[in-house]
Chain A
Amino acid sequence: MATIDVHPQTATHHHDEHGDDHAHHGNFWTTYIFSEDHKVIAKQFLFTGMAWALIGGMLSVLFRLQLGFPEANLGWLKPILGGWLTPEGKIDPEFYLALVTMHGTIMVFFVLTAGLSGTFSNFLIPLQIGARDMASGFMNMLSYWFFFLSSAIMFISLFISTGPAAGGWVIYPPLSALPQAISGSGLGMTLWLVSMALFIVSSLLGSINYITTVINMRTLGMSFTKLPLTIWAFFLTAIIGILSFPVLFAAALLLIFDRSFGTSFYLSDIYIGGEALPNQGGSPILFQHLFWFLGHPEVYIVLLPALGITSEIIATNSRKPIFGYKAMVGSMLFIAILSFVVWAHHMFVTGMNPFLGSIFTLLTLIIAVPSAVKIFNYVTTLWKGNIRFTPAMLFSIGLVSFFLTGGITGIFLGNSAVDIQLHDTYFVVAHFHLVMGSASFFGMMAGVYHWFPKMFGRMMDEKLGYLHFWLTFIGVYLVFFPMHYIGIAGFPRRYYTWTAFETFSGFADLNMLVSVAAIITMVAQFIFLFNFIYNIFRGKLAPANPWNATTLEWTTPRLPGHGNWVGEIPTVYRWPYDYSKPGSKEDFIPQHIPYSETPESNLPHENDEIKLEMGGAGAIVVEERKH
């Protein structure tokens, strides 16, 4: 972990040399390590998240090697894996489960929750709403350091002798509660739980800050109807986080008591390792209910920020207003609410009350409607645009494509009767990796490419970005699309090998294809890494507004210093999507340009606002109080 944290220091240090005229005098520790500046914290989240993404990706390559080349001798990995290889050079079956578990945990929580939401909520909320910093810089700093501590513990758990947690990222008890059942449920699981408890604290600190900032710290004129969709997305994500993470905490707390203090919340009637355990009266299903009450909203915690980022990037690079701004906000709001009432669709075959199953089928398929609306709106935004394929734009289009491909299979899985056969097969793996994993990952990549100039004051190389995109885009499809076939054929997930069954022993070729594609995709990420690190130091200096975008962050200096704006914070007069407005000379009008300056392009109702503008800032406030 140490290597990772060197980056933000060196990176930001470098910039300060290049004329950060905004005086902020702190020593090295308060400026770069325990910084309270939202931009530094965002970078800290980004670097840690990227390091985790690499680790998580590597783990997936390891288990893909096992699945794609079951006969291969992996003896050459002995120096890294040591005792986790069997004498024949195979991955140990228990270690295989540990790999799958840690891959899931790392990707869902550490990369796509902290890495994505932590980075961009921190970076963009103050910049896009026109605030000097977060509501509480101190809490923001704590949020990162809790995350760091949580990361460190999870990282250490990878190296302990009994191995990390291995009961799946959903840690269903009794498997996760009994060290007798799997060695990963010993110390590895304890560390997992401690790490997640810290993670929850970090996430809550962050979310409280994001919401408070969005509500209380907007600049003059920045009413809710003028918020960029990114902010809407981060705002709703934070609300979901505040309401759902405590539930995971409760679930984990009860599990800790079951594991360490002998209570029986989740355990009952267990005979294992030659003895009958005294626990009686617990219910493993209870854990699943509590877990998925977080677990499902978590999907949207991961996805909504990516969708917000994409909305912004697609509009900017199509040079068109996002189609149906209100519908976009409405659908996100609707998704956020519905995400709390669909959790049990993960549990259709747990033996729960079939009537509940019907209710959850109904609610689950309702959530497909706002998702479909979002896709249609993205596609319509492209229509009659003037599209510039920046790497960020490519990744955003990739996101929409994944969201479509993966989202549509949700219609199968949400239907309880169809889910019986598909549940826990590779069909599910394909579904959520596309709709949630890859889509959100692409959102994160799009965000990095798009805001890199504002983060580091330099440009990334576009051609390497194209190469990175095409390899990753095609690679991801080659990895996950074939899994649909494997899943329809009934292959269960989390299988070390399928050769034990006649029914599942086919498709060796497809599995090999998937593994090769996974390796290529993984290798392609190094292109990005190179492009990213190299250009932090050597990149072309960025203009203040390289994409001709309208939102407030582009009105800051090339490399905004502490406090973000030199002088006064701009006042906002218009919505963030005035691209290619008829009549205007430029194809974009930033949010801080008053209507009075653009009489040639104003719509009739906007001309009415000029009168208010003339009345001074106070008039704007009158309008704002309505919200």
Chain B
Amino acid sequence: MTWIISLGAILVLVILYMIFKIGNLVGLVKGKKEEEFSISWNNANAIMFMIFMVVGLGGFFWYSYAHFDEYTLPVASIHGEVTDSLFWITMWVTVVAFAIIFVVMFWFTFAYKYEKGRKAAYFADNHKLEILWTVVPAIVLALLVFRGLRVWHEITGPASKEAVVVEMVGQQWLWMARYPGVKDKTLGHHNYKLIDASNEFGLDLTDKNSYDDFKSLELHIPVGQEILMKIRAKDVLHSVFLPHFRVKMDAVPGVQTHFKFTATKTTAQMREELNNPAFNYEMACTEVCGKGHFSMKFPVVVDTQEDYQEWLESQESWLKQNPDYLKYVPAELKEAAMIKAGIPLDNTVTVQTAAIK
């Protein structure tokens, strides 16, 4: 394959070079008398513009129509439906404007191509016309902007108190999700200085909210319920991108960002709709973050509310998975921590705690 390409490229080069040579030789043979402006080439260029216009515009419309389903990503969030509609409104407005100007411009190049003896119009300005095409785009843009700003205001507004909170943490080159746990429903504090090989979140175990937090390598979210995604990064910039939910927000080290959205279709519903039993929601990174930028995939599952609840309860807390870290829990909170984390209280631990006291 590559050989064919490279060979092809070389061949093209050679052919082009021959064309220059021949063209130049012909020019030399004809001599320098032929200095007259070449009307036939001028017409050829004008015709080329017409061909370009027809084929280009035709190809654009044909491809857009014929392959519509390939490039329109199904949408699965409430605000996504709104921004999509705004996108398509903008698309219609701009395509109409584009097509008109495109056709008019190339038509002019053809219609007013050089003719010997014709004199161009001395048409230097026309204030009415200029005001017209300043005001009309301004009004159209204003309408688009105001609609856009309303939507933007809703999307970036504060999340409701009942929203399901999930924390996404980006690092080179993977995502991690942290859930606040079923008992306190609050994310525990974190501190980047506490991060180590096991404590990947930098969980601060002096905060009692952290005991039932759990890590997940799959983003599970319930359908029809508002999600508040809190986002941070450990090393460099990353960006959460959930293409089907029209969600995108940078992950910034040292700053917490967030995005709220509501999923409208479970994974199962989407599979059915797309007639693709292998379909999965995905999350990607859209801010360049180094070598593995292209591979920061994180699976996303939208459950029904019941399935989600079931999944939540089946998860083990981070502290339970890493009982060694109990030593960082202040002694007076140890018991509470073990209960919250779901670690069975056995004698040895209580004895140790007592000894420390």
Indicate whether A and B are direct neighbours in the complex (CB within 8 Å). Answer: yes
Do the beta carbons of B122 and A581 come within 8 Å of each other?
A: yes
Contact status of A379 and B104, CB under 8 A, knowing A72-B2, A365-B145: yes
User: A350 to B238, alpha carbons, bound, how many Å?
Assistant: 10
- Central interface residue in B124, B257, B292, by most chain A CB within 10 Å: B124
Q: B312 → chain A, closest Cβ, in Å?
A: 26
Do the beta carbons of B297 and A501 come within 8 Å of each other?
A: yes
Do the beta carbons of B23 and A463 come within 8 Å of each other?
A: yes
User: A574 to B249, alpha carbons, bound, how many Å?
Assistant: 55
User: A326 to B83, alpha carbons, bound, how many Å?
Assistant: 38
Contact of A175 with B by CB under 8 A: yes
Contact of A13 with B by CB under 8 A: no
Contact of A452 with B by CB under 8 A: no
- Checking B38, B93, B120, B197 against A385 with a beta-carbon cut-off of 8 angstroms, the contacting residue is B120
Contact of A423 with B by CB under 8 A: yes
Q: A477 → chain B, closest Cβ, in Å?
A: 7
- Checking B2, B102, B235, B249 against A69 with a beta-carbon cut-off of 8 angstroms, the contacting residue is B2
Interface residues on A, range: 35 or more
| A:258-291 near B, CB below 8 Å | 267-272, 274, 276, 280-285
Do the beta carbons of A386 and B119 come within 8 Å of each other?
A: yes
Contact of A394 with B by CB under 8 A: yes
User: A318 to B291, alpha carbons, bound, how many Å?
Assistant: 51
Chain B residue nearest in CB terms to A375: B101
List residues of chain B with CB within 8 A of the CB of A473: 52
| A:482-497 near B, CB below 8 Å | 485-486, 488-490, 492-497
Do the beta carbons of B151 and A417 come within 8 Å of each other?
A: yes
User: A477 to B3, alpha carbons, bound, how many Å?
Assistant: 26
User: A420 to B171, alpha carbons, bound, how many Å?
Assistant: 22
Do the beta carbons of B255 and A412 come within 8 Å of each other?
A: no
Contact of B224 with A by CB under 8 A: no
Contact of A73 with B by CB under 8 A: yes
Do the beta carbons of B137 and A372 come within 8 Å of each other?
A: yes
Convert A567-606 into 0s and 1s, putting 1 for each residue whose CB lies closer than 8 angstroms to a CB of B: 0000000000101111000010000000000000000000
Contact status of A415 and B192, CB under 8 A, knowing A172-B287, A385-B112, A408-B94: no
Do the beta carbons of B286 and A421 come within 8 Å of each other?
A: no
Convert B223-266 into 0s and 1s, putting 1 for each residue whose CB lies closer than 8 angstroms to a CB of A: 00000000100111101010110111110111101100000000
| B:280-313 near A, CB below 8 Å | 280, 282, 284-295, 297
Main secondary structure of the interface of B (DSSP, over half): helix
Contact of A5 with B by CB under 8 A: no
Convert A433-463 into 0s and 1s, putting 1 for each residue whose CB lies closer than 8 angstroms to a CB of B: 0000000000000000000000000000111
User: A116 to B19, alpha carbons, bound, how many Å?
Assistant: 29
| B:109-147 near A, CB below 8 Å | 109, 112-115, 118-126, 129-130, 133-134, 137-138, 141-142, 144-145
List residues of chain B with CB within 8 A of the CB of A463: 23, 41
Do the beta carbons of A502 and B133 come within 8 Å of each other?
A: no
Do the beta carbons of B112 and A384 come within 8 Å of each other?
A: yes
Do the beta carbons of A420 and B246 come within 8 Å of each other?
A: yes
Contact of A256 with B by CB under 8 A: no
Please choose the segment from A216-224, A236-244, A522-530, A615-623 that sits at the chain B interface, where 4 or more of its residues have CB less than 8 A away.
Answer: A522-530
User: A485 to B247, alpha carbons, bound, how many Å?
Assistant: 19
User: A97 to B172, alpha carbons, bound, how many Å?
Assistant: 15
Contact of A246 with B by CB under 8 A: no
Do the beta carbons of B2 and A383 come within 8 Å of each other?
A: no
Convert A227-243 into 0s and 1s, putting 1 for each residue whose CB lies closer than 8 angstroms to a CB of B: 00000000000000000
User: A534 to B258, alpha carbons, bound, how many Å?
Assistant: 59
Contact status of A523 and B108, CB under 8 A, knowing A284-B254, A386-B119: no
Do the beta carbons of B41 and A76 come within 8 Å of each other?
A: no
Contact of B328 with A by CB under 8 A: no
Chain B residue nearest in CB terms to A492: B286
Convert A302-325 into 0s and 1s, putting 1 for each residue whose CB lies closer than 8 angstroms to a CB of B: 000000000000000011111111
Convert B51-80 into 0s and 1s, putting 1 for each residue whose CB lies closer than 8 angstroms to a CB of A: 010001000100110010011110000001
Chain B residues bordering chain A, tally (CB within 8 A): 128
- Central interface residue in A283, A350, A534, by most chain B CB within 10 Å: A350
Do the beta carbons of B148 and A417 come within 8 Å of each other?
A: yes
Do the beta carbons of A362 and B49 come within 8 Å of each other?
A: no
Contact of A382 with B by CB under 8 A: yes
Contact status of A389 and B46, CB under 8 A, knowing A270-B235, A372-B137, A504-B284: yes
Do the beta carbons of B67 and A485 come within 8 Å of each other?
A: yes
Do the beta carbons of B133 and A372 come within 8 Å of each other?
A: yes
Do the beta carbons of A404 and B101 come within 8 Å of each other?
A: yes
- Central interface residue in A74, A349, A481, A506, by most chain B CB within 10 Å: A349
Q: A249 → chain B, closest Cβ, in Å?
A: 22
- Checking B137, B239, B297 against A500 with a beta-carbon cut-off of 8 angstroms, the contacting residue is B297
Do the beta carbons of B120 and A587 come within 8 Å of each other?
A: yes
Contact of A405 with B by CB under 8 A: yes
Do the beta carbons of A268 and B241 come within 8 Å of each other?
A: no
Do the beta carbons of B141 and A411 come within 8 Å of each other?
A: yes
Q: A286 → chain B, closest Cβ, in Å?
A: 10
User: A585 to B60, alpha carbons, bound, how many Å?
Assistant: 45
Chain A residue nearest in CB terms to B138: A369
Contact status of A369 and B134, CB under 8 A, knowing A321-B122, A323-B123, A354-B152: yes
List residues of chain B with CB within 8 A of the CB of A182: 290-291
Do the beta carbons of B130 and A423 come within 8 Å of each other?
A: no
Do the beta carbons of B9 and A175 come within 8 Å of each other?
A: no
User: A36 to B300, alpha carbons, bound, how many Å?
Assistant: 63
User: A325 to B195, alpha carbons, bound, how many Å?
Assistant: 63
Q: B136 → chain A, closest Cβ, in Å?
A: 9
Do the beta carbons of B248 and A349 come within 8 Å of each other?
A: yes
Contact of A517 with B by CB under 8 A: no
Contact of B325 with A by CB under 8 A: no
List residues of chain A with CB within 8 A of the CB of B126: 323-324
30 A-B interface contacts by CB (under 8 A): A74-B2, A166-B290, A270-B192, A285-B255, A318-B112, A326-B125, A349-B250, A362-B145, A373-B134, A385-B108, A387-B113, A387-B114, A397-B109, A415-B148, A417-B155, A420-B246, A420-B247, A421-B83, A423-B248, A424-B287, A461-B23, A467-B19, A473-B52, A490-B243, A498-B294, A500-B297, A502-B278, A502-B279, A503-B284, A534-B24
B-side residues, CB < 8 A to A, are 1-3, 5-6, 9, 12-13, 16-17, 19-20, 23-24, 27, 32, 37-38, 41-42, 44-46, 48-49, 52, 56, 60, 63-64, 67, 70-73, 80, 82-84, 86-87, 90-91, 93-94, 97-98, 101-102, 104-105, 108-109, 112-115, 118-126, 129-130, 133-134, 137-138, 141-142, 144-145, 148-149, 151-153, 155-157, 171-172, 192-193, 195, 197, 202, 231, 234-237, 239, 241, 243-244, 246-250, 252-255, 257-258, 278-280, 282, 284-295, 297
A-B interface, 10 closest residue pairs, ranked by CB to CB distance from nearest: A268-B254, A351-B257, A354-B156, A389-B45, A384-B121, A490-B243, A415-B148, A580-B120, A382-B108, A417-B151
